Amino acid sequence: MPARQTQHPGTGFFQDAFGIDDRVLAKLISESLGRGGDYCDLFFQEIKGNWIVMEDGEVNRAYTAVRLGVGVRVLKGQQSGYAFSQVLDLPAMLEAARTAASLAAAGGPAPPGPGPEVRPPSLKPGRDLYSCREPWDQVAAERRLALLRGLGRRLRQADERLTKTVLQFHDSASRILLANSDGVKREDWRPRASLAASCVAQMNGKREANHMDITARAGLEFFDDGLLDRLAREAVERTVRLFEARPVRAGETPVVLAPGSAGILLHEAIGHGLEADFNRRGISNYADRLGQRVADPQVTVVDDGTIAFSHGALNFDDEGADSQRTVLVEKGVLKGYLHDRISAAWYGAVPTGSGRRQSYEHPPMPRMRATFMEPGPYHPGEVLAAVKQGIYAEQLSNGQVNIGAGDFSFYVKSGWAIEDGKLTHPIKDVNLRGNGPEVLKRISMVADDLALAEAGFMCGKLGQTVPVSQGLPTTLVQGVNVGGTRS
């Protein structure tokens, strides 16, 4: 898609509301480089969020949040200094610039003094991956409430075993202005919205609970009647199904990963290990494997920031680099890393648009966006038919990985037992664990039904959380360790 000039609700915001024009940007950049830094960026952000809760049919609590500030990052060689200000007047911003400059210069002498002459940055247009019919701050509260009531109505008579429902609607919009000492300026407006249903059901004195959400970078129009129908139906179905669920036997077993949220496998087993900051330090177990065969030729793994409306979509990253589709594994061979500016410079590579941060309070680092496996040659039915005894993992969550050793673990929220190629009964309380490089080698069949998870996964790393997407086609892994309770 060719880049084009876009008008979105972020355009000109910081200039209009706070007088941050090109002259101010140039002054701040100059101040930031005043202690000998080689590069700096300014990340202005305003985030407005709403969160409304409906409990047992009553919409009776809400939370709103406004966060505003500018983060200043200065790089000097390999060293970075960072400071932010929540006050957007010139003296406070200059103070943040001086702090970042002096932190980046720590350990080396650098005379304080006026910064270099800086030419004003010029606006660089980006993609348009998440335009909404109306910006969230123009959507009246009543229309958000109507969504919750619509979902509540659908759940009211869904199943007589339901004893409690908590429904939540969350929306936020982040306005961003980024300017750096390379003369680049970019503006964005990033929406995020999520509708979630938590259900508790009771049967024969036993209680079970489950949760489901659908989350996207989208506007109100995304949450149409069809989506509400499906969310209500599946949230209830996943809860009451747990009454039939049985524990599984612990040990190694074939696992069929369903399309969608099982993409967490890629996120944990390989994605984090390919973030270039871990590799630059040699601390990832993938640090010396570039160009090596790591999986069957059916396996192509991609991290893509350009999928419209996806949770991990970005028009440009938080350092101002264009978002892109990055191939991590191509036909089984390890191809590349996810770079931010620092790691790309270190490797002499081109930034992959993966420099992300939680907010203006944090410096960017290499992160995933939407991580998925390309479709393979099989039909989903063929994959299932190939398993004599195993488990079908449908909804996954709670992924975690130890980058150095490559060991990962994630939790199967809902799944089924497979016997003779057929789903027999639901299973519960199953944790899957394995080692990234080992599990990749055991992927033996990939189907043609790729889907991205609809749930709003948040990825945590070194104290920062960012929205991501993940996806997978139906995939057979020959042998994963299953932690169960049945002997």
Partner 1 sequence: MYQELKKIAGQVLDLAKGAGAEAAAVKASHSRFVDVALRDGAPDKASASTRQGLSLRLFLKGRYAVHVTSDLRPQALKDFVSGAAALTMALEPDPQRGLPDPARYPTGPPPELDLFDPELSRATAEQWASLASHMEAEASQAAQKAGPPVVSVAGGAYGETAWGYLADSAGFSGELLETGGFAGCSVVFLDPRQDGKRRTGWWWEGGRQLAPFQEEARLSFLAAEAVRRGLGELGAKPGPSGKFPLVVENQAARQLVGHLLSALSGQTVHNQRSYLAGRLGDDIASPLLTLRDEPFIKGGMGSRWFDAEGAVSRPRALIENGMLQDYYLNTYYARKLGLKPGAGSVSNVVLEPSGGQDFARMIAGLKRGLAVTGFLGGNFNSTTGDFSLGVKGLWMEDGEAAHAVEGMNLAGNALDLWRSLLAVGNDPYPFASVRAPSLHFAETRLSGV
Please list every residue from 268 through 327 that binds partner 1, using CB under 8 A.
281-285, 288-289
Closest to partner 1 by CB, 186 vs 280, is 280
CB-based contacts of 16: which residues, under 8 Å, 6+ apart? none
390 vs 445: CA distance, rounded Å: 14
> x/- site string to partner 1, residues 406 to 425, per CB under 8 A?
xxxxxx-x------------
Residue 325 Cβ, how far from partner 1 at the closest point, in Å? Answer: 28
Binding test (CB under 8 A) with partner 1, winner from 356, 428, 441, 461: 428
Q: Partners of 201 in the beta sheet?
A: 162, 208
Nearer to partner 1, 61 or 133 (CB): 61
Q: How far is the CB of 97 from partner 1 (least distance, A)?
A: 12
H or E segment at 446?
strand 443-446
- For partner 1, the closer of residues 122 and 163 by Cβ is 163
Among 86, 122, 389, 424, binds partner 1 (CB under 8 A): 86
CB of 365 to partner 1, least distance (A): 9
- Taking CB under 8 A as the binding criterion, the range among 23-31, 73-81, 380-388, 471-479 that sits at the site for partner 1 is 73-81
Q: Which residue reads 């993940």 in tokens?
A: 470
Tokens of 131: 């335009």
Q: How far apart are CA 216 and CA 196, in angstroms?
A: 12
Dihedral sign for Cα atoms in the order 195, 189, 371, 319? negative
Contact 130, 218 (CB under 8 A): yes
Q: How far is the CB of 375 from partner 1 (least distance, A)?
A: 27
Can you tell me which of 13, 84, 169, 316 binds partner 1, judged by CB under 8 A?
Answer: 84
| Contact window for partner 1 (CB under 8 A) among 83-91, 189-197, 311-319, 440-448 | 83-91
Measured from the CB atom, is 15 or 402 closer to partner 1? 402
Q: Which x/- pattern over 89-108 shows residues binding partner 1 (rule: CB under 8 A)?
A: -------x--xx-xxx-xx-
For partner 1, the binding residue among 117, 142, 224, 225 (CB under 8 A) is 142
Q: What is the DSSP letter of 377?
A: S
Least Å from the CB of residue 237 to partner 1: 17
The residue behind tokens 């890629």 is: 266
Q: How far is the CB of 306 from partner 1 (least distance, A)?
A: 29
Sites for partner 1 among residues 185-244 (CB under 8 A):
198, 200, 202, 207-209
Which of 3, 65, 349, 350: binder of partner 1 (CB under 8 A)?
65
Contact code string over 154-183 relative to partner 1, x by CB under 8 A? ---------xx-x-----------------
**Separation of CA 78 from chain center:** 27
Pick the closer one to partner 1 by CB: 11 or 79.
79
Question: Closest Cα partner for 356 from 37, 43, 27?
Answer: 43
CB of 351 to partner 1, least distance (A): 18
List alpha helices for 357-441, DSSP H.
380-385, 436-441
CB of 388 to partner 1, least distance (A): 21
> d(Cα 254, Cα 264) in Å, to the nearest integer?
17
Number of residues in contact with partner 1 under rule CB under 8 A: 85
The number of residues in the chain equals 487
User: What b-and-e string marks burial along 1-11, b requiring 16 or more CB atoms within 10 Å of the CB?
Assistant: eeeeebebbbb
Residues 363 and 425: beta-carbon distance below 8 Å: no
Helix (H, G, I), strand (E, B) or coil at 23: helix
Please list, in sequence order, all residues whose beta carbon lies within 8 angstroms of the beta carbon of residue 390, skipping any fewer than 6 positions away.
253, 254, 255, 256, 417, 418
Residue 81 found at the interface with partner 1 (CB under 8 A): yes
Report the alpha-carbon distance of residue 130 to residue 308 in Å, rounded.
Answer: 6
Q: Which of 66, 91, 205, 225 binds partner 1 (CB under 8 A)?
A: 66
CB of 160 to partner 1, least distance (A): 16
The tokens 């970042």 sit on which residue? Answer: 100
Convert residues 19-58 into a mask of x (bound to partner 1 by CB under 8 A) and - (unbound): -------------------------------x-x-----x
CB 453 within 8 A of CB 307: no
- Measured distance CA(41)–CA(31) in Å, rounded: 12
